[in-house]
């Protein structure tokens, strides 16, 4: 099947310039047309005014002699014509039947006189168009006894309008040339940030996301676009770096148990061994396989949280009861480690969410608290309605005593595979995905998860006074009370 080739599109610079010229040209044509019409109307009005004055003056000079009517003083009628060329002006006197009685100026060789009907018309003539005004002369009782007609050649009007046309035909193209030059300059200046964006985008690759536009011009739409582009690049760079760290950490986490498995298999196969040794080796290998399964499951879980929140099965959940039940499950484990676990749960708090995900979030936080609390330490679990100027929310706080989290690590405890440097041992540190999963679950429910670690006085503790720290993870979710 043949594909039709699309016609090449003009560049944005050319299209903007052409649109600019089109608008300027249309505006100039409209202004020129308006000016032409208004000037013509003004000139015609001026001619009509002079015709009316001429008829008024002529009417006062009409007299009746014997059986005809005429202008009694032709010398004084020069006032009617004034300074006009007599060949361009004419006055006629007609009887009531429209027959010619007398005339002044170019009445014979001037216009093609119309029939005597009151009004103003434009008539033709040997020397171009004429403006003709006709007025009746009335006696008492309003009987028409004659007609006066005054006419003036429109040559002056035509010449003036012709000069205006010449000026417009010269000025508009000149204006378009100047506008084209100005338009190209303005478009080039306006598109400079876009050109820089284009160059920056071309220079960006998966291995180099450090380039930025760095726009420093006026604060306008272009500056906003450039800043938005730079912020987008910041987010992309952060995402790529996080993805690279994630991939590297995941590879490391997967490689270690696989290396252990390979080593144990090689040792077991190196020479014949007893049944008990094989049993011990298989048990150790099973533990590593379990670790791999948990790690793969967590990775799949995080990928699911990242890509789609549509799998959530939201329902109204009694968060107070859920936290109390989860804390009770960890009470035995805390007791076995000589840890004190206390609860302060406000009853009747409700949220809307997926109960399975919320259980996993709470278990990750409590497991983290038990894991990092020393023997004799304390763990506190609290639920309360949080004061909020906006949407009402419910707050869950899980606090544990211990060595705390260094200030430099607080901002990264929710990063994937991140473990505090002082506790990198696999026996206690885990894979570093638990808190990352907890944060993603909180985000999926429209909430947030934060951490704080503060020094406290702990007299009688194994730690010196002032060295013990309380680490608090705070979960805040939108309240569903009353819904």
- State the pLDDT confidence band at 143, using cuts at 50, 70 and 90: confident
> Same structural domain for residues 117 and 261?
no
Per the CB < 8 A criterion, the answer to whether 104 and 90 are in contact is: yes
Model pTM score: 0.50
> Same structural domain for residues 438 and 470?
yes
Please write the tens of the pLDDT for every residue from 50-74.
Answer: 899 888 888 887 777 656 677 776 6
Is 189 a member of any domain?
A: no
Is 1 a member of any domain?
A: no
> Same structural domain for residues 458 and 337?
yes
Out of 161, 179, 204, a domain closes at: 161
Lowest mean pLDDT among 157-161, 166-170, 241-245: 241-245
How many domains is the chain partitioned into structurally? Answer: 3
Q: Which residues in 390-428 are b (16+ Cβ under 10 Å) and which e?
A: eeebbbbbbbbbbbbbeeebbeebbbbbbbbeeeeeeee
- State the pLDDT confidence band at 81, using cuts at 50, 70 and 90: low
Q: Rounded CA gap, 239 and 245, in Å?
A: 10
Is 265 a member of any domain?
A: yes
Per the CB < 8 A criterion, the answer to whether 451 and 405 are in contact is: yes
Average pLDDT over residues 343-364: 90
Neighbours of 96 (CB within 10 A): 15
> Same structural domain for residues 71 and 108?
yes
Average pLDDT over residues 186-208: 75
Is 92 a member of any domain?
A: yes
> Can you list the positions of beta strands (E) in 96-143?
100-105, 119-123, 130-138
> Same structural domain for residues 377 and 437?
yes
Q: Rounded CA gap, 431 and 434, in Å?
A: 8
User: Residue 188 pLDDT more than 70?
Assistant: yes
- State the pLDDT confidence band at 5, using cuts at 50, 70 and 90: low
* Range with the largest mean pLDDT of 83-92, 155-164, 276-285: 155-164
- State the pLDDT confidence band at 83, using cuts at 50, 70 and 90: low
Max alpha carbon distance in the chain (Å)?
A: 163
User: Residue 346 pLDDT more than 50?
Assistant: yes
Place of tokens 């009782």: 141
Instruction: Tell me the CB-side half-sphere exposure of residue 482, using CA atoms within 13 A.
Output: 7
Task: Give the domain CATH number at 428.
Answer: 3.30.565.10
Nearest to 154 by CA among 134, 177, 128, 135: 128
Average pLDDT over residues 4-12: 63
Q: Rounded CA gap, 20 and 14, in Å?
A: 10
- State the pLDDT confidence band at 450, using cuts at 50, 70 and 90: very high
Task: Give the domain CATH number at 26.
Answer: 3.30.450
pLDDT score for 120: 93
First to last CA, the chain: 59
Average pLDDT over residues 216-231: 76
> Same structural domain for residues 426 and 338?
yes
> Same structural domain for residues 73 and 150?
yes
Out of 307, 323, 349, a domain closes at: 307
> Same structural domain for residues 17 and 141?
yes
> Same structural domain for residues 301 and 332?
no
> Can you list the positions of beta strands (E) in 8-115?
62-65, 68-71, 89-95, 100-105
Is 168 a member of any domain?
A: no
Domain housing 117: 12-161
Please write the tens of the pLDDT for every residue from 103-130.
Answer: 888 888 888 999 999 999 999 988 789 9
> Same structural domain for residues 149 and 30?
yes
Is 456 a member of any domain?
A: yes
> Same structural domain for residues 264 and 410?
no
Out of 250, 285, 307, a domain closes at: 307
pLDDT score for 65: 67
Is 198 a member of any domain?
A: no
Please write the tens of the pLDDT for every residue from 286-327.
Answer: 877 877 777 777 676 666 666 555 567 888 999 999 999 999
Task: Give the domain CATH number at 275.
Answer: 1.10.287.130
> Same structural domain for residues 455 and 321?
yes
């Amino acid at each position: 099947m043949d594909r039709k080739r699309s016609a090449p599109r003009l560049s944005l610079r050319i299209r903007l310039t052409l649109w600019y010229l089109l608008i300027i040209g249309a505006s100039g044509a409209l202004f020129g047309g308006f000016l032409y019409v208004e000037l013509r109307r003004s000139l015609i009005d001026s001619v009509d005014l002079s015709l009316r004055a001429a008829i008024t003056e002529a009417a006062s000079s009409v007299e009746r002699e014997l059986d005809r009517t005429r202008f009694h003083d032709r010398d004084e009628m020069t006032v009617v014509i004034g300074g006009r060329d007599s060949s361009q002006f004419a006055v006629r006197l007609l009887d009531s039947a429209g027959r010619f009685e007398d005339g002044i100026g170019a009445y014979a060789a001037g216009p093609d006189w119309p029939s005597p009907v009151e009004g103003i018309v434009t008539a033709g003539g040997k020397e171009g168009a004429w403006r003709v005004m006709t007025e009746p002369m009335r006696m008492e009782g309003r009987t028409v006894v004659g007609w006066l007609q005054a006419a003036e050649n429109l040559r002056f009007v035509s010449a003036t309008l012709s000069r205006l046309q010449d000026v417009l035909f010269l000025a508009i193209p000149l204006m378009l040339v100047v506008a084209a030059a100005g338009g190209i300059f303005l478009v080039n200046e306006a598109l400079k940030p876009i050109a820089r964006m284009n160059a920056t985008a071309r220079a960006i690759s998966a291995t180099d996301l450090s380039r930025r536009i760095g726009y420093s011009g006026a604060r306008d739409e272009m500056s906003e676009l450039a800043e938005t582009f730079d912020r987008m690049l910041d987010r992309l760079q952060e995402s790529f770096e996080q993805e690279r760290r994630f991939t590297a950490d995941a590879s490391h986490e997967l490689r270690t148990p696989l290396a252990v498995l390979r080593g144990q298999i090689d040792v077991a196969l190196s020479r014949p061994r007893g049944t008990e040794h094989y049993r011990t080796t298989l048990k150790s290998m099973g533990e590593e396989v379990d670790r791999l399964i948990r790690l793969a499951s967590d990775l799949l879980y995080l990928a699911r949280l990242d890509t789609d929140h549509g799998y959530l099965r939201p329902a109204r959940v009694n968060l107070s009861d859920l936290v109390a039940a989860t804390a009770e499950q960890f009470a035995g484990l805390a007791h076995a480690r000589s840890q004190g676990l206390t609860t302060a749960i406000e009853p009747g708090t409700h949220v809307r969410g997926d109960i399975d995900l919320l259980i996993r979030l709470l278990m990750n936080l409590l497991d983290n608290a038990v894991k990092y609390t020393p023997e004799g330490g304390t763990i506190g679990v609290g639920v309360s309605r949080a004061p909020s100027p906006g949407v009402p929310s419910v707050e869950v706080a899980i606090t544990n005593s211990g060595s705390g989290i260094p200030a430099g690590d607080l901002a990264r405890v929710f990063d994937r595979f991140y473990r505090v440097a002082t506790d990198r041992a696999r026996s206690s540190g885990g894979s570093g995905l638990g808190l990352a999963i907890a944060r993603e679950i909180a985000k999926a429910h429209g909430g947030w998860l934060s951490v704080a670690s503060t020094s406290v006085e702990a007299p009688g503790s194994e730690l010196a006074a002032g060295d013990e720290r309380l680490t608090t993870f705070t979960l805040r979710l939108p309240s569903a009370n009353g819904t």
